[in-house]
Chains A and B, each alone.
Chain A
């Protein structure tokens, strides 16, 4: 069995850039975890989310390559911006790439899609009606 890191530095850079772009677009925190779970993946992913600094405003993408499972967990406030339907569409995108063995491409595309779907248009003239 080959031994090594899951991603090359270039691949890590691509994923981190996608995460940053998604955070800028949505105002939410994004976190990506790639690794195995000894038990059910969904509770494990929720535990990972709770480990983060601001779980309510965070979207966690959990990928279990060995178990071939993907979980997208949205915090309580993040769920308002990113519906379960939108998360499901992003999951479908990632699922397609993962099935062909492209972990990096799936994560980059999926995270970007999550960030775009969670994007909120700025409210114009909401608090300052005197400004045009």
Chain B
């Protein structure tokens, strides 16, 4: 077997399959790479808090978030009033 034939054989039986595998792998993971980290239930949450349609005066900055109930300091004075009684629902997953 001549070296030229050996190189050609190597390309056909190794190079091309590796190239195909690489392209398919790239296509499979391209969308997740483009969209960034994804939420996976059960794993810890990495992102800072997001408050959509929140108080006008405050931004969703962790430093400006209200104190938890039972904390010594009063809640921030951004709100105009306090809800009297509340309803709603809860769920977990």
Binding site for B on A (CB under 8 A): 1-8, 12, 15-16, 19, 29-44, 46-56, 58-60, 64-76, 78-79, 82-84, 87-88, 90-92, 94-96, 98-101, 103
A53-B79 in contact (CB<8A) = yes
B38-93 interface with A by 8 A CB criterion:
38-42, 44-56, 58, 60, 65-70, 75-76, 78-93
| Interface size of B as a range | 35 or more
Residues in B with CB closer than 8 Å to A33 are 49-52, 54, 60
Known: A39-B69, A70-B91, A72-B89. A56 touches B50 (CB 8 A): no
B76-A66 in contact (CB<8A) = no
CA distance A71 to B93 in the complex (A): 12
Residues in A with CB closer than 8 Å to B40 are 101
CA distance A96 to B41 in the complex (A): 12
B87-A84 in contact (CB<8A) = yes
B48-A52 in contact (CB<8A) = no
Main secondary structure of the interface of A (DSSP, over half): mixed
A2-B37 in contact (CB<8A) = yes
Residues in A with CB closer than 8 Å to B81 are 50, 54-56
B88-A73 in contact (CB<8A) = yes
CA distance A29 to B80 in the complex (A): 14
B39-A101 in contact (CB<8A) = yes
21 contacts between A and B (CB under 8 A): A2-B46, A8-B36, A19-B52, A31-B51, A32-B53, A33-B54, A35-B49, A39-B69, A49-B83, A51-B79, A55-B79, A55-B80, A65-B45, A69-B90, A70-B91, A72-B89, A73-B87, A79-B88, A95-B92, A98-B41, A101-B39
B89-A16 in contact (CB<8A) = no
